[in-house]
Amino acid sequence: MKPTNEYVEHAAGYVDNEGPKIVTGRFVHEDSHRMRRYQVTGGYQGLRAALARRPSEVHQEVNNAALLGRGGAGFPAGRKWGFLPPGRFPYYLVVNGDESEPGTYKDRLLMERDPHQLIEGCAICCYAAGVQQCFLYVRGEMALAQERIAGALNEAYAAGYLGHNICGSEFSCDVVLTIGAGAYIVGEETALIESLEGNRGMPRLKPPYFPAAIGLYGQPTIVNNVETLSNLPWLMRNGADHYKTHGSAQSPGTRMFAVSGHVNRPGVYEVEHGVVTFRELIYGDNFCRGIPAGRELKTFIPGGGSAPWFFPEHLNLPLEAGPVTAAGSMLGSGAIVVMDDTVDVVKAAHRLVRFFAHESCGKCTPCREGTSWEEQILARILEGEGRPSDIDLLLDIADNISPGPYPVASDVDRGLDAVPFPPRQTTICPLGPSSVAPIVSSIRRFRHEYDAKITRRDKIPVVAEPIGVTR
Amino acid sequence: MTDLGARRETVLLVVDGNEVHAGETELLIDACERTGTYIPRFCHHPRMKPVGMCRMCLVEVDVGRGRSLQPSCMVTVADNMQVYTDSELTRKAQDGVLEFLLANHPLDCPVCDKGGECPLQDQTMAYGPGESRFVESKRHFEKPIPISDTVYLDRERCILCDRCTRFADQVAGDPLIHFMDRGYYTEVNTYPDEPFSSYFSGNTVQICPVGALTAKPYRFKARPWDLAETVSTAWVDAVGSRITVQSSRNKVLRLLGIDADPVNRGWLSDKERFAFEALNSDQRITGPLRRSAQTGDLEPVGWGDAMAYVASLLADINPERVAVIGGARLTNESQYAWAKLAKGVIGTDHVDAQLDDGLPAELVLGLPRATINEACQPGGTILLLGPDPKEDLGALYLRLRHAILNDDVTLIELTPHGGGLSGIAAHSLHPVPGELAALAAALVAAIGDPGPTPAFNATRVPASAIAAAAAAVHGPVTVVLGRASIADSAQGVIEAALALNELADVKFLSALRRGNVHGALDAGLAPGLLPGRTTLEMGADRFGEHWNAIPSATGLDTAQILAASAAGLVDVLILLGSDPLNDFRDRAEAQAGLAGASTVIAVDILPNDSTRGFADVVLAAAGPTEVDGTFTNLEGRVSVSCRRVDPPGTARPDWMIAAMIAESLGADLGVDSVAALRDELYAVSTVHRSLNEQTLTGELINGVLISGPGDIGLPEVTEATIPVKDAYSLRLVATRRMYDGGTLVAHSPASAGLVCTMQLRLNPTDFAKLGVQPATMVRLVSLKGALTTPVFPDGGVPAGSAVIPAFVPGSPANQLINASTHVTDVRVERL
């Protein structure tokens, strides 16, 4: 079907642009979530192809394709599966569908529009890694995704693609749908495992709790992102060699990017990995078509709310983990937030920090106390009560959460070099350090805006109920 | 947590440039502390699993992949590990964490009970920036809120270290306090209508690193720098937990647990922790009392008058007509003095420290004895044939629970009903009263012959369950042996113990509950015994040097004394800190015995029903924190028990009262101090030979284990015939609760509100036959008496049994029990 290069009405936010389609190919069909449609569009052929081969061969195929994890860290999926210690059965597969990074909404579309593709991916992964039990953890707020996955699971069980002796083979596998309770931190894999076990969603310490060694119920566990697994059916149908014809050498295949903010056509795009640049994505006709009313780009976040910010001089970087990391940020979960010259960066930083302060689980001290302290200082500055010492205080609090130079983009005008990703942390998980990204990024580039606020003491309404009120 | 037991120091790491040897599984924070480098911490506790939450113990660690900040409480030592505990990055991180902790901390140190002994305060002095940059408004919560009858929570002070919540969940097994909400609003709290009603809640107060948890008895009572403290031993039960007694202005204000590895490992039950309140009670007997001929009331008299009266009673008396009941409250030294007075001076052998709720001394001393550590050794099996440790021996319960959960120890219960450990027991066999001996014999047979399961056994416990339990027995076996129920005689336990003694590699850990009862047995406060685990016959030669005389024949035990007294055969009955009316298992018999004695002399610290009703003279005794001495716990471990405050009024140590009575009789005990008593005991006793002042002070924390049966042989017991239960009856089980009508509990304000209420629990099938709703009031009738009680179904009760608490104030179970029968049959009547 020829791409329309328009929004797809029934897939809210998805733009059916030109280019190869690996995971979003069915989105244009209104009934893409039904087994009927799935089967006539190559559905479960990947699983059948996998079952015709030995598990180790399937694993090798994924290794050959160099399929990178799409959850944020970008770790090769095949290598992750290889970390399971041999013989310590049972293994578990946990699918991280707790997508809640600010700006990210690609996994939701995959789960709503093509749940069978995800389920088939789960089955292939289980077959390759020797797993018989898979848990699909879907974020609590995503009601439609939960409903669609539940329906698809029923269809898949009825059709014999899950359960005992799948497609007449020796392979049996169960997939269980679990619904989260709405906490950002549960997107962190160890917190997700805690939540699955019925505990408070709080991260575990690594070491010793690497999921591959001590995961769900203490057993070796693979935690993969929805988009990562959704690549597997196509990969098994078409083979690693074909897969690698798309994208760059280091980052084969395609990736979904969710663009939001000040662009003419925000939305989710399936983009060739490592080939397209930020400039093409934001300004290209095939993609977001530039910034409204011809205004100037001020800054953009390349990988979701936890990523350090990029500036106009970074537009020519490719959408690929390596170069972005070296430039001081991360591609993360594929969420690009574009801010034009009308944006008040202090307010933007405050809004992001407030998110992290609100979502901090409270387990470790620097994150629990540090994020809310930062939020309170930023709110105070916005309310016209800032102090000149506040800026250095913010940076020092940031340093106490994430010691040492924090990852930040280069600043050519001031002759400042980039600090490559990732940050160091005094916390258990990366949530605390994530809250630092908007602060360090905005202060380094726009310190004068902070100074102006502190000097002029303009009162800018913040939010109705700031964190830190008495209960 | 680091295994504090056997450790081979095989790992070599470098801490701040110095080579340090550490054990293979040792945590970095522990290895550093042991070798002199203290790393600050809040959440880490050596007796609990690490969580790495507070982040205060971050240090730079390099294991070959470059230096990075790691929480030292979560990192296990490794060879060639480079650790930098004082680097710039480490200090910056620690200062930062401390500033974060203080940001929302109220800094109300001047009015905080923890001020002066507060880890947060101390570490703020040692680390931290010294000045706060936090100008925002602090987090506020309602404060303080009671989370149980004894513990208050101040959430503003809380630094969320997870110590109390971990303790409640991992150590005590009462997960009743939790983290709630998240991030900035995270708090520790209880759920509505689920208070932190744990027998061990006081431990959370002790391990709280700030003043967030405070206990009612100590709130606003003193400042830490005003407290004087002494290492001592807890006295309310026989575990002998090691404590520090802290006092101010001659008043005991607080007890804290000490980490004695072989005993309580820092933990205490709340009863042990808060029992000192009873000693501060205004009901204390502060001087001698004598019953007035005019009013019939006990009225104060001088010591001279009291002693003259006692002397007039005892002078030239036929020793066969004098009896002594009690003595488990006393220190070892006082027990020896009383044994010498009763047996050597007065010449009676009718002396019994137990009130027919324990086991014969020959059994306790004659069986091969285990220590707590031996019972808890990894890979072993524990047979629980006694009371529920959670109710009776709190600190022992925590040790057993830890071993079962963490050290692969298998627990098999042979108890009359489910209890605190049932949830983690591998097998729970609940015999109906009277069937315990047969059950133990069947178990021993099944262990010896793992062949096909016999179709029949002499108990109502299924043979398959016995076979399964037998198959689970592995490694060294420890039998925790005590009297679970006061409704049946000791006969079943004795027979069962002797049967289990046939197992290979078996040892016994006594679970007698009453304070220093093991010291009393060692001091000879039992019929037929002399101090030092010897008998009247065997010890006769040895005691001649120090004692004037020795009784010629074995005397009566408590049940026999009371029967004799009821028959008019006792002229002087001495209650040595005992309350037979409530403690003896047959109330009518106790009443008759007390009434039948011509004169009753009580030696006690607090009034009780027996002294109020029957004592002619009461001699005021000093309490456990008011005398120097030693205590012998259920393992036979002797530890010091120290005087911290003065006795109230003119109350005197028990040994001094014994010496005064001897003197008034014209005799001389030959001892004028605790040290002299100690020396004499250690001289006449063969088992106490390893003890002296040096060993006691040298092992101040762990105490000294005295072992060996001395001259005691196992009792010879003939099988008793248990009467057959008729179809309409149930067999009564009366078990102890931690908070019952006991004198100490009744006089402790912190515990008085927690006293158990009467409830009858039946197996669901028996309950269904009643045809009533749960909590319906019914009448429980035996041949001796009756009481009304609400009735509840309970799956942990075997069919045919009726379970009630042993001592609920107002409706004591002993009014139903006949001490002369082996079992008590009752009927349940609808009202």
The DSSP line for A93-143 is EEEEE---STT--HHHHHHHH-HHHHHHHHHHHHHHHT--EEEEEE-TT-H
d(CA B22, CA B6): 12
Which residues 102-131 of B are in CB contact (within 8 Å) with A?
Answer: 103-104
Question: CB burial class (10 A; 0-12, 13-18, 19+) of residue A203?
Answer: buried
Record: contact A370-B100, CB cut-off 8 A: yes
Instruction: Work out whether the CA dihedral A165, A168, A171, A174 comes out positive or negative.
Output: negative
Instruction: Write the secondary structure of B665-728 as one string of H (helix), E (strand) and C (coil).
Output: CCCCCCCCCHHHHHHHHHHHCCCCCCCCHHHHHHCCCCCEECCCCCCCCCCCCCCCCCCCCCCC
Q: What is the pLDDT of residue B539?
A: 85
Q: Is A289 on the interface with B (CB under 8 A)?
A: no
Distance from CA of A139 to the nearest CA of B (A): 18
Contacts of A141 (CB under 8 A, 6+ apart): A182
Q: What is the pLDDT of residue B451?
A: 72
Q: Where are the alpha helices (DSSP H) in B319-421?
A: 332-339, 361-366, 372-375, 389-392, 394-406
Q: How far is CA B333 from CA B627, B635, B678, in A?
A: 10, 18, 6
Q: State what percent of residues in chain A have pLDDT above 90.
A: 90
Q: What is the pLDDT of residue B753?
A: 85
Pick the residue from chain B with its C-alpha nearest to A393: B133
Record: contact B93-A403, CB cut-off 8 A: yes
Closest CA to A236 of A53, A92, A74, A113: A53
Q: What is the pLDDT of residues B595-612, one digit of tens each?
A: 999 999 999 999 999 999
Q: Is A395 on the interface with B (CB under 8 A)?
A: no
Q: Which helix (H) or strand (E) holds B749?
A: helix B749-752
N residues, chain B: 831
Distance from CA of B87 to the nearest CA of A (A): 13
Record: contact A362-B183, CB cut-off 8 A: yes
**CB distance A92 to A219 below 8 Å:** yes
Distance from CA of A220 to the nearest CA of B (A): 20
Instruction: Work out whether the CA dihedral B145, B147, B151, B154 comes out positive or negative.
Output: negative
3-class DSSP state for residue B732? strand
Q: Is B100 on the interface with A (CB under 8 A)?
A: yes
Q: Is B38 on the interface with A (CB under 8 A)?
A: no
Question: CB burial class (10 A; 0-12, 13-18, 19+) of residue B244?
Answer: middle
Structure tokens at A306: 């936890």
Residue type, B442: A
Q: What is the pLDDT of residue A467?
A: 60
Q: State what percent of residues in chain A have pLDDT above 70.
A: 97
Q: What is the pLDDT of residues B560-606, one digit of tens each?
A: 999 999 999 999 999 999 999 999 999 999 999 999 999 999 999 99
Residue type, B322: V
Q: What is the dihedral of CA B657, B661, B663, B668, to 10 degrees?
A: -80
Structure tokens at B632: 């012998």
Q: Which helix (H) or strand (E) holds B163?
A: helix B163-166
* Weakest-pLDDT range from A69-73, B262-266, B376-380, B640-644: A69-73
Record: contact B55-A365, CB cut-off 8 A: yes
For residue B190, which phi and psi values (nearest 5 degrees)?
-105, 160
Q: Measured between beta carbons, which residues in chain A are less than 8 angstroms from residue B182? A: 183, 200, 359-362
Mean pLDDT (chain B) is 94
Record: contact B179-A362, CB cut-off 8 A: yes
Which of B74, B133, B183 has its CB closest to that of A359?
B183
Residue A408's pLDDT band (cuts 50, 70, 90): very high
| Mean pLDDT, residues B465-488 | 95
Task: Provide the 8-state DSSP code for B547.
Answer: -
| Mean pLDDT, residues A395-421 | 93
* Weakest-pLDDT range from B225-229, B395-399, B476-480, B688-692: B688-692
Asked if the model's pLDDT at residue A468 lies above 70, the reply is no
Q: What is the pLDDT of residues A136-161, one digit of tens each?
A: 999 999 999 999 999 999 999 999 99
Q: Measured between beta carbons, which residues in chain A are less than 8 angstroms from residue B119? A: none
Q: What is the dihedral of CA A339, A343, A347, A350, to 10 degrees?
A: 10
Cα(first)–Cα(last) distance of chain B, in Å?
55
**CB distance B177 to B164 below 8 Å:** yes
d(CA B529, CA B340): 11
Q: Is B191 on the interface with A (CB under 8 A)?
A: no
d(CA A95, CA B348): 80
Tell how strand B251-257 and strand B82-84 pair up. unpaired
Question: CB burial class (10 A; 0-12, 13-18, 19+) of residue A284?
Answer: middle
Pick the residue from chain B with its C-alpha nearest to A396: B96
Best residue in A199, A400, A424, A425 for a mutation probing chain B (most B CBs within 10 Å): A400
CB atoms within 10 A of CB A94: 23
Tell how strand B534-535 and strand B572-576 pair up. unpaired
Q: What is the pLDDT of residue B5?
A: 47
Contacts of A150 (CB under 8 A, 6+ apart): A177
Distance from CA of B56 to the nearest CA of A (A): 9
Asked if the model's pLDDT at residue B317 lies above 70, the reply is yes
Record: contact A358-B99, CB cut-off 8 A: no
Q: What is the pLDDT of residue A471?
A: 40
Distance from CA of A427 to the nearest CA of B (A): 7
Distance from CA of B100 to the nearest CA of A (A): 6
Q: Is B707 on the interface with A (CB under 8 A)?
A: no
d(CA B10, CA A76): 38
Q: What is the pLDDT of residues B6-33, one digit of tens each?
A: 456 789 999 999 999 999 889 999 999 9
**CB distance B505 to B476 below 8 Å:** yes
Q: How far is CA B809 from CA A102, A310, B733, B752, in A?
A: 62, 75, 17, 11
Best residue in B120, B185, B187, B210 for a mutation probing chain A (most A CBs within 10 Å): B185
Number of Cβ pairs < 8 A linking chain A and chain B: 114
How many Cα atoms are found within 13 Å in the side-chain-facing hemisphere of B550? 21
Pick the residue from chain B with its C-alpha nearest to A469: B139
Which of A200, A380, A471 has its CB closest to that of B185?
A471
3-class DSSP state for residue B405? helix
Residue located via tokens 């066969």: B320
CB atoms within 10 A of CB A110: 26
Cα A145 versus chain centre, distance: 17
Q: Is A434 on the interface with B (CB under 8 A)?
A: no
Q: Measured between beta carbons, which residues in chain B are less than 8 angstroms from residue A392? A: none
Q: State what percent of residues in chain B have pLDDT above 70.
A: 99
Pick the residue from chain A with its C-alpha nearest to B155: A471
Distance from CA of B136 to the nearest CA of A (A): 7
Pick the residue from chain B with its C-alpha nearest to A390: B133
| Mean pLDDT, residues B441-456 | 82
Distance from CA of A100 to the nearest CA of B (A): 17
Residue type, B97: V
Residue B718's pLDDT band (cuts 50, 70, 90): confident
For residue B189, which phi and psi values (nearest 5 degrees)?
-160, 175
Q: What is the pLDDT of residues B53-105, one digit of tens each?
A: 999 999 999 999 999 999 999 999 999 999 999 999 999 999 999 999 999 99
**CB distance B447 to B420 below 8 Å:** no
For residue B253, which phi and psi values (nearest 5 degrees)?
-115, -20
Best residue in A186, A354, A368, A393 for a mutation probing chain B (most B CBs within 10 Å): A368
Strand ordering across the sheet containing A267-272: A267-272, A254-261, A335-340, A297-301
Which of A364, A403, A471 has its CB closest to that of B89?
A403
d(CA A431, CA A84): 26
Record: contact A426-B54, CB cut-off 8 A: no
Record: contact B74-A207, CB cut-off 8 A: yes
Which of B51, B99, B183 has its CB closest to that of A357?
B183
Q: What is the pLDDT of residue B455?
A: 65
Structure tokens at B33: 């502390």
Residue A459's pLDDT band (cuts 50, 70, 90): confident
Distance from CA of B152 to the nearest CA of A (A): 19
Closest CA to B801 of B722, B723, B725: B725
How many Cα atoms are found within 13 Å in the side-chain-facing hemisphere of B820? 9
Contacts of B177 (CB under 8 A, 6+ apart): B147, B164, B165, B168, B188, B189, B190, B196, B204
Record: contact A400-B68, CB cut-off 8 A: no
Q: What is the pLDDT of residues A312-341, one digit of tens each?
A: 999 999 999 999 999 999 999 899 999 999
Structure tokens at B418: 């489910």
d(CA B412, CA B444): 13
Q: Is A355 on the interface with B (CB under 8 A)?
A: no
Record: contact B55-A369, CB cut-off 8 A: no
Q: Measured between beta carbons, which residues in chain A are less than 8 angstroms from residue B52? A: 205, 364, 428
Instruction: Work out whether the CA dihedral B805, B808, B810, B816 comes out positive or negative.
Output: positive
Best residue in A426, A428, A429 for a mutation probing chain B (most B CBs within 10 Å): A426
d(CA B384, CA B426): 11
Question: CB burial class (10 A; 0-12, 13-18, 19+) of residue A108?
Answer: buried
Q: Measured between beta carbons, which residues in chain A are less than 8 angstroms from residue B145? A: none
3-class DSSP state for residue A367? helix
Q: What is the pLDDT of residues B656-687, one digit of tens each?
A: 999 999 999 999 898 889 999 999 999 999 89
| Mean pLDDT, residues B187-200 | 94
Q: Measured between beta carbons, which residues in chain B are less than 8 angstroms from residue A186? A: none
Q: What is the pLDDT of residue A463?
A: 54
Q: Measured between beta carbons, which residues in chain B are less than 8 angstroms from residue A403? A: 69, 89, 92-93, 96
Pick the residue from chain A with its C-alpha nearest to B179: A200
**CB distance A440 to A401 below 8 Å:** no
Pick the residue from chain B with its C-alpha nearest to A360: B183
Instruction: Work out whether the CA dihedral A119, A123, A124, A129 comes out positive or negative.
Output: positive
**How many Å is the Cα radius of gyration of chain B?**
28
